[in-house]
Amino acid sequence: MTLPDARKILGLSPDEDPRSHLADFKQARERIAAMVRAAPNDTLADRYQQGLIEFDQALAAVQEHLEAAGLAAPPLPSNVTAEIPPSPAPRVSKRAVCYLAWLVILLTSIGGGAWIYLKNEETMEEQRQARIGFLANQGFIMVENRRWQDAAGTFAEIEAIDPGSGLAQRGRRSIEVGMVEEQTQFIGYWTGQATAELEAGRLDEAVAAARQVLAKFPAEKDAAAILAQVAIARANQSRSAAIASARQAFDQQRWDDAIATAQGILAKTPDDPDAKSILADATAAVEKIAADQAKAAELLQMAVARDQGQFDQQALDWLREANSLTPGNPEIAARLEKLSSYTRTLHVPGDFATPGEALASARDRDRIVLGAAVWKGPLVINAAVELQGAGLAETIVECSPENGSAISIGPDAKGARISGIGFRHESFAAGTDRFSAALVRGGQAAFVDCRFTDASGHGLAVIEGGQVFVSRSRFASNGWNGAAAIGNGSTLEVRDCESLENFEHGIESWDGAAVTLVNNRCEGNSRNGIHTDNGAAAANIEGNQLIANREFGLVLDSAGSGKVTGNTARANLLGGFVIRANAAALPVTANQATRNHGSGLILEKGLAAESYTGNSISQNSDPQVFTGADLATGDEPEPAKPR
């Protein structure tokens, strides 16, 4: 700033000494600073501040002139800010009045009006600030109520009134934060609800909850993932229901239905192991039925050719086998009835009131026909008679568990035959003894189309050199084994039977008994499907299905001869096949162990894995083949002795 301009601003003539007016300069500056502090709004404060800056620049220019002229003077006031406290109103000199008048002129030139203009400006500013305050209050209330669109409009109006307003910026940020919080809460609630419904198996409810999210936020990945999980769960439910239906059809021997259902599953999931298994088993059953029918037709022709109108044991045996192979075949049933009539037939009821009375009067080759009823045992057979029921579900023989076995075959029964009867105990309370439902003690017997259930001991026990053949029968829910053979000379042949959910093994032999087990299904037993500890006796085990038992599918402790071939061990808890050193003489070939929860094949130490490579061992827990197992004698409890 030039010196003449500075003198003009300060109200000094060109030759006037400024040192005599220092007090006036100070008073004038304090008045200007007070106006800065008291300004009603930022706009006026800025204008007053500009005047203060020019006043300070004028004082500085005069100060520089005095210093350059070497004139001593007290420092002129400078850099005094708006924080200077107001002074008591002093007497204002004429010089100060000039300065203030200059300031009014200056402000007037800047603002474009006089004091009236400034007053109007102040009123408008107050109205503007009041409007901004009102809008801000309304905007934040809308944010709290999550009225995002209304709030955004309110803060946009503040921005229009006061561009760059901090209030508008804070408002927009609060909207953004609130919307994110609302989205997070909404998504968290409904995805949590959907997850809970999915875990509870309520799939429709899970879908509804997930779609609540996707309706508002289509790109939400968690909700989309839940819908994908629901789709998988639905497929699994459908698959489980189909598997259950196929198994039920299989159990009910509705082979075509089982095959069709399994094929439907495999059309969708070609590698489904359960469907494959059901399809294979049902197809094998159909093929076996066809083979059985052909065999039965052949036996019928042989029996007809041999029929001479009198008792013929060979022809009768052929017809019995044919009838067992094709139950319900009217031609075979009629021919069997004719040949059976060549012997004495005793009817219960009819000829006798109870089975016990009929058996007491029976002799070899007599036929005793039991009607459909629940008959009380225990029954004892001591002759080579045929005991024929109306069907295993229609004719039941039972007794209390403390009274012995429901039926016993004595040593004098050299060829008894029992068919179409169910044997059971009245309750499962064993008492001090664990009798079997059926007991063969030294005699010879055949059981065909029978059922052995709910015994306090074994379903069927063969002891003291008894010889038993069982076919097309079921052992289920017995207190020990489904079927058991014990002792030297005892033999048990079981074909085409089921042994299910017994409290010990499905089928067991020990202490020198021999077994032939062919095409049986041992499933869900509390220990092993089959357990043999035959010593030097034979064990022929072929084509059995050993499924989901709680220990192993098959345990071979010992056997002197025989073979193990074509068996399948699947989904057993501890493993598939266990071979001990004392059973090393048996060839073990063409067996399959799959999907067991333990190893597929467990070999006692001393047995070489190379000797068992002819078996299929896959999809079990590792190692697939466990070698060198330490299976010391005595690890398993001593089998119970039947009575």
In this prediction, residue 572 has a pLDDT band, given cuts at 50, 70 and 90, of very high
In a domain, 184, yes or no: no
The answer to whether residues 596 and 519 belong to one domain is yes
The answer to whether residues 361 and 447 belong to one domain is yes
How many domains does one find in the chain?
3
What is the model's pLDDT at position 293? 92
What is the model's pLDDT at position 642? 46
Question: How far is the CA of 55 from the CAs of 31, 39, 140, 422, 642, in angstroms?
Answer: 12, 18, 44, 124, 125
Does residue 640 carry a pLDDT above 70? no
Contact between residue 405 and residue 377 where contact means Cβ atoms under 8 Å apart: yes
Taking only the tens place, the pLDDT of each residue in 304-328 is: 999 998 888 899 889 988 988 888 8
In a domain, 458, yes or no: yes
Contact between residue 253 and residue 279 where contact means Cβ atoms under 8 Å apart: no
In a domain, 199, yes or no: no
- Kind and range of the H or E run holding 224: helix 221-251
In a domain, 204, yes or no: no
The answer to whether residues 447 and 542 belong to one domain is no
Q: What is the CATH number of the domain that holds 395?
A: 2.160.20.10
Using the CB atoms, write b or e for 144-162: b if 16+ within 10 Å: eeebeeebbebbeebbeeb
The answer to whether residues 413 and 457 belong to one domain is yes
Tell which of 53, 81, 112 closes a domain. 112
The answer to whether residues 508 and 627 belong to one domain is yes
Highest mean pLDDT out of 14-23, 97-106, 193-202, 547-556: 547-556
Dihedrals phi, psi of 545, to nearest 5 degrees: -100, 120
In this prediction, residue 432 has a pLDDT band, given cuts at 50, 70 and 90, of low
**pTM for this predicted structure:** 0.64
The answer to whether residues 473 and 526 belong to one domain is no
How far does CA 479 lie from the centroid of its chain?
32
What is the model's pLDDT at position 75? 52
Q: Poorest-confidence range of 84-88, 202-206, 291-295, 340-344?
A: 84-88
- Kind and range of the H or E run holding 545: strand 545-547
What is the model's pLDDT at position 85? 38
Nearest to 439 by CA among 481, 405, 415: 405
In a domain, 300, yes or no: no
Q: Poorest-confidence range of 9-13, 219-223, 368-372, 586-590?
A: 9-13
Measured between alpha carbons, how far apart are the two ends of the chain, in Å?
A: 131
Average pLDDT over residues 487-492: 96
Taking only the tens place, the pLDDT of each residue in 126-160 is: 787 888 888 888 888 888 888 989 989 988 988 88
Tokens 């229609």 belong to which residue? 394
74 burial class (0-12, 13-18, 19+ CB within 10 angstroms)? exposed
Does residue 114 carry a pLDDT above 50? no
Does residue 643 carry a pLDDT above 50? no
What is the model's pLDDT at position 79? 46
Q: What is the CA radius of gyration of the chain?
A: 53
Q: What is the share, in percent, of the chain residues with pLDDT greater than 70?
A: 87
What is the model's pLDDT at position 404? 92
Range of the domain at 449: 355-479
Does residue 394 carry a pLDDT above 70? yes
What is the model's pLDDT at position 582? 95
Q: What is d(CA 393, CA 265) in angstroms, rounded to the nearest whole number?
A: 32
What is the model's pLDDT at position 102? 52
Highest mean pLDDT out of 96-100, 179-183, 282-286, 496-500: 496-500
Does residue 614 carry a pLDDT above 80? yes
In this prediction, residue 547 has a pLDDT band, given cuts at 50, 70 and 90, of very high
Does residue 379 carry a pLDDT above 70? yes
The answer to whether residues 413 and 539 belong to one domain is no
The answer to whether residues 67 and 37 belong to one domain is yes
Does residue 76 carry a pLDDT above 70? no
